[in-house]
Amino acid sequence: MRVLVKSLLHWILPSQCYCCETLLEVGQPGICPACLSTIRWIEPPFCTRCGVPFPSRVGENHLCGGCLTRRRYFTIARAIGYYEGSLREVLHRWKYEEKTYVTSFFGEKLEEGFFRYWPRPSFDLIIPVPLHPKRLKERGFNQALLLVKELSRRTRIPYAKRILQKKIPTPPQVLLNGEARDKGVRGSFHIQNAEEIRRKRILLVDDVYTTGATVNECSRLLLKAGAEQIDVLTLAHAVLHH
């Protein structure tokens, strides 16, 4: 209810840009044109599997070192922008300050990215990366589910929000390396109603791709339960090299 109230107040009262606090015009997304222009959108060359952009803007797409040495259960993962600066700020305020009215802006960017990387009939189902019930209660919403609902509405691909569930809370993953993250998420998710995903092509959606440990574990379980193929779409990719 508090999330709904804050969203309604946004449309009644003047709102400010999340990054620079400039007053926005009615109906503008939560980020002003100046801050929007500073966001780095991901462009080739990038890894053909996980989508991480390479430091050099010269060359062709190819597998990155991480995807050459670690098993990936998803077919491809793609992200819209770099997890830095204005985009990172907006994502944080969206998630942690309940600025859920920016979801439509994110939905628009996800739609653009979706049709850049996949043809329209690519998937049978869209599934969000779930939150543990305790975290969901604290936050009041699952940001991945908000993105999934937006993308489903825009692409007309159905979504399912309860098939993939998180049964064990995991510690903060920010400071862990890739191997530690893999171990940290192992066994923390489970599948229910597996018959609903058998032989289905699934798009898994989350807000940020960091090391890929979470989406990789989710993809492993979905494939084990009978899904035909898992691809991943996120708003941002955390890039360790610049």
Q: What is the pLDDT of residue 60?
A: 93
Specify if 30 maps to a domain.
Answer: no
pLDDT band at 242 (very low <50, low <70, confident <90, very high): very low
Q: What is the pLDDT of residue 29?
A: 67
Q: What is the pLDDT of residue 174?
A: 56
Q: What is the pLDDT of residue 170?
A: 78
Specify if 4 maps to a domain.
Answer: no
Number of independent structural domains in the chain: 1
- The chain-wide mean pLDDT, for the chain, equals 88
Query: CA 153, CA 34: separation in Å to the nearest integer?
Result: 29
Specify if 54 maps to a domain.
Answer: yes
Q: What is the pLDDT of residue 99?
A: 78
| pLDDT of 12 higher than 70 | no
pLDDT band at 241 (very low <50, low <70, confident <90, very high): low
Measured in whole angstroms, how far is the alpha carbon of residue 90 from the centre of its chain?
14
This prediction's pTM: 0.89
pLDDT band at 125 (very low <50, low <70, confident <90, very high): very high
Pick from 109-113, 184-188, 190-194, 217-221: least confident: 184-188
Specify if 223 maps to a domain.
Answer: yes
Q: What is the pLDDT of residue 85?
A: 92
| pLDDT of 141 higher than 70 | yes
Specify if 68 maps to a domain.
Answer: yes
Within 35-181, strands assigned E span: 77-82, 125-128, 164-166
The mean pLDDT of 80-89, rounded to a whole number, is 94
CATH of the domain at 66: 3.40.50.2020
Measured in whole angstroms, how far is the alpha carbon of residue 137 from the centre of its chain?
20
Strand order in the sheet with 77-82: 77-82, 229-237, 201-209, 125-128
Q: What is the pLDDT of residue 32?
A: 87
Coil, strand, or helix at residue 232?
Answer: strand
Domain that holds residue 153: 41-237
CA angle 24, 26, 29 (to 5 degrees): 60
Specify if 194 maps to a domain.
Answer: yes
Specify if 58 maps to a domain.
Answer: yes
pLDDT digit string, tens, across residues 145-180: 999 999 999 999 999 999 999 998 876 655 566 667
Q: What is the pLDDT of residue 53?
A: 95
pLDDT digit string, tens, across residues 91-105: 998 888 877 878 888
Specify if 22 maps to a domain.
Answer: no
| pLDDT of 200 higher than 90 | yes
pLDDT digit string, tens, across residues 36-75: 899 999 999 999 999 999 998 888 999 999 999 999 999 9
Range among 12-21, 154-163, 181-190 rated most confident: 154-163
Query: Cα dihedral angle (113, 86, 217, 71), rounded to 10 degrees?
Result: 70
